[in-house]
Amino acid sequence: MELRMVMQRNDDAARRAADAGRGAEAGPAGPVSANSVPAPPTWPAPAMAMAVRSSWPTPVGVICVVLGVLGVLGGLVGMVSVFIPDWFSSFGFSPPGMEQALEVFTQHRALILVMNVVTTLTAGLLLFAGVGVVSRRGWARRACLWFSGVKIVVVVLNAALGWYFQQAQFRALPSGPFGASSSGGFFEFVTAIGVGVSVLWGWALPVFLIIWFNRGSIRAEVRSWDSGAQVTRPPELGD
């Protein structure tokens, strides 16, 4: 009987020792399972946003500056050309058969001079806006939009004036192979094509600037110019 009780106590002690060993192997956090193993890192890692300096203000601003300078020079030449008939007359030079056409030019000299002044000022506004874009000033967007609105109106006025002036000069030409009585509607057709092309060409830049500077990302970037902040974007391949 005593032997049986001793054997029973030995078996209980052995089971408790075995249970204690398994608990030590499992650790305080319990048994290890497949779900508790951390997932391996993924590759490539998600792109992190980084501050970058956009490049579009330089080409857009340079185009505005160049066209602005050319427009100012063209307007100054136009203002000077108003007085060319007087210089011809002072030297006694008068093209034969062109007296009436030159008289039409002289009659509309004031209007032509005013339009050249307006064209020069509009080109100066474009030059000013281009400098602001290149230097990344917050007011550059407003200057470009102001130029665009004024330029669209000025182009229409210049086209209407050009049509009227050319028609008046054509009617004043003497009769002959190139006169008004012999060309029929050909001169009007050519003039209409020229006026249409000049309108489309004159509207190209202002329409582009209106579309460009009304994009949401461009508006946000221009607003950041005054604050000194930079717009962030994910890095591209090769950065």
Give the per-residue pLDDT at 176: 53
Angle between helix 140-172 and helix 99-107 axes, rounded to 10 deg: 140
Given a cut of 80, whether residue 168 has pLDDT beyond it is: no
Residue-level pLDDT at 6: 53
pLDDT tens digits along 107-123: 778 888 898 999 999 99
pLDDT confidence band for 196 (50 / 70 / 90): confident
pTM: 0.66
Beta bridge partners of 50: 233
- Residue type for position 188: E
CB 101 within 8 A of CB 169: yes
Instruction: Say what the pLDDT of residue 208 is.
Output: 96
| Residue (of 130, 150, 148) closest to 139 by Cα position | 130
